[in-house]
Amino acid sequence: SCPQPQTSEHLAAVEIMQLKNIIILQNKIDLVSEAVALNQHEAIRKFIQGTIADGSPIVPVSAQLKYNVDAVCEYLIKRIPVPVRDFTSEPNMIVIRSFDVNKPGASVDEVEGGIAGGSILRGVLRLGQDIEVRPGIVSKDSEGNLKCTPIFSRIIGLKAEQNDLQFAVPGGLIGVGTTVDPTLTRADRLVGQVLGSKGSLPEIYVELEVNFFLLRRLLGVRTAGSEKGAKVSKLAKAEVLMLNIGSMCTGARVVSVNKSGDSAKLTLTSPVCTRIGEKVALSRRIESHWRLVGWGSLSDGVPATV
């Protein structure tokens, strides 16, 4: 079907973020006939009517055949303004990939430090800079309380695509070579962590207070014909949710909900390094899948032991 059920979640996320410049790609048109492609185009147009994406261009593309890829690039360059970048604040990068580049059997002298990949939100990273990664190594003390040990390192390499850099700025994806033990970075173990200059990163939290808004109806679940999705029920005490904050995805248990039903205290399964005021997405487990049910912002939190 076109659009797919999860596209409703994507559109809701776009509305939450209040994005102003939107382009819709109708991909894989090389796999369908012209008549089917036109029907899908009309279905997409009806789907976005009355939403934040209403009136946005719908471009049919085939990534395999590179059909209309040039038109997409031209639109991105000419029609979407370059965001204002912050080069003066302390650097802050969210890690979305991490890996170990060493080959099996490498000698001790040949071993290279771990690599962290992600997007710089603000500030500038430079070769030779001392950095910190938070929350770092998470463990439990004798009483079962979570303890975080930030990772301290130094930047020994910066890359964008195949280009070696002397410094990296916000925008695009950056690979950061470090002196970190590669066992800590292999297989995306640092995903969700935050990298920045030593001593400048935000607090690490194990409990959060969230001011939230729930969606009216459930998105991303298939319904029969024109039937509307089920209503989203209120958050309940002891309910388990999934939170997305930046690139971090963590479970959370609802400790309490206020009387007006727009603020909740949550205990996290994994500590999160974030700022008060940061946006958060709330998901609930529906039919063995996590589905977006609301969003909000962080209003307070309980710091972790560091």
CA–CA gap between residue 217 and residue 83 (Å, rounded): 32
158-171 in b/e burial notation, b at 16+ Cβ within 10 A? Answer: bbeeeeebeebbbe
Give me the amino acid identity at 113.
G
Q: Which two tokens stand for residue 155?
A: 């930047």
Rg of the chain, C-alpha, whole Å: 22
CA–CA gap between residue 284 and residue 115 (Å, rounded): 33
Pairing of strands 58-60, 24-26: parallel
CA–CA gap between residue 233 and residue 235 (Å, rounded): 7
CA–CA gap between residue 58 and residue 218 (Å, rounded): 25
Mean pLDDT by 10 residues, the chain (306 residues): 76 85 93 94 92 93 95 94 92 96 91 96 96 94 88 96 94 94 95 95 96 86 61 92 92 94 94 94 90 93 91
Q: What is the pTM of this model?
A: 0.84
Rounded to whole angstroms, what are the CA distances from 129 to 21, 145, 152, 156, 266?
Answer: 35, 33, 11, 8, 36
In sequence order, which residues have a C-beta less than 8 Å from that of residue 80 and are 6 or more positions away? 21, 23
Q: Which two tokens stand for residue 142?
A: 């004798």
Count, residues in the chain: 306
pLDDT of residue 196: 97
CA–CA gap between residue 123 and residue 138 (Å, rounded): 26
φ, ψ of residue 256 in degrees (nearest 5): -160, 155
